[in-house]
Structures are given as structure tokens and as C-alpha cells.
Amino acid sequence: MFAKSTKTLTGVAIIAIVLLATPSPANAGAADLSTARAATAHFQQIDQAKGAGYGLFVDAAKIDCIASPGVGVMGIHYVKFSLLGDGAVDAATPEALVYQRLPNEKLRLVAVEYIVPFSTWAGSSAPSLFGQDFKLIPSPNRYGIPAFYELHAWVWQNNPSGMFKDWNPNGSCAN
């Protein structure tokens, strides 16, 4: 009887160790967010972003600051176009950096955006990162580009609507 109890306890201990050693999705998402912040901290200076290959993106109407009246603002997107065709998702390499203009005309980094063209994604479901599924933006769209998956992460500005929501009511395109 003692040997059977020892085997049962050993089995329970092994399961407990495996469960404790495996990061939960929430913890994995938090680690990824820390990775995103660390990887983009130097892009607070727009010249650093430009030097790394990020360029200004405007929508089909040539608007640089993306807003939705009554809903909120995304901001001004700087996109690294060389990352768009790879079909990869990596917290450390966002395809877009999102800025908002300050009253002194300087730009402030507020969010990162991960973008995967629909045509390059090989998965059977939407890509995901930070425990969040990307949103599919169909074509036609206000950007004048083919369908794509996207996920915003407001890692540099609070978004009362949620960390991963597209629109931030605290933002502004007025400056």
C-alpha cells in the first residue's frame, strides 16, 4: 500500500511541476508585451525609426493621421515595408510604429501595429500575438490596399478601450 501511495504522489508531483513550469497564455502575453516595449523603446525618436527603414504611410485619401470621429484615433503610421511580405509575426519586430503629433509638432510613439497581408498568411486561422487574434481588414478599405490582418498594441499610451483595440479615445489628430 505504501508503494502505491508513493507512485501516486510522484505522479501528482510531476504533473504539478509541468503545470507550474509551463507559462500561462496571460504570462506569455505579458512577456511578449515587454519584448515589444524593449524592442521599440529607441523608436521614441522618429529619426531612429526612419533610420531603421520605417516610412510614413498615408491612406487612400492621403491622410496621415488615422482617426474615426466619435470613436478615437490610431495616429500616424510609419511602416517598415520590407517586413510586410514575410508572413511572420514577431513581438520584437512590428511592421508599423504609430505616433501622435504633440502641440510642438514633434511625434510621440504611442503604439505598435503588427500587419500580415492576407495573401502571405499560411495559417488556417488568423495570426495571433499576445494571446490576441489579429483582425482581418477586407479589401476595399480606406487604405487602398489588399486585405490584411492587423493587431494594434498600445504599449506606449494608455487606451481606455483596451490594449489591443484599434481606436484610442485618448488620442488626437488635432495637433
**Each residue's pLDDT tens digit, 24-74:** 344 446 778 999 999 999 999 999 999 999 999 999 999 999 999 999 999
Domain regions of the chain by residue span? 25-153
Mean pLDDT of the chain: 87
Cell numbers representing residue 82 in the block? 520590407
Question: In whole angstroms, what is the distance from residue 79 CA to residue 53 CA?
Answer: 8
Angle at 125 between CA 122 and CA 127, to 5 degrees: 75
In the predicted structure, residue 114 carries a pLDDT above the cut 50: yes
Confidence of residue 13 (pLDDT cuts 50, 70, 90): very low
Instruction: Give the chain's radius of gyration (CA, Å).
Output: 21
Pairing of strands 55-56, 72-79: antiparallel
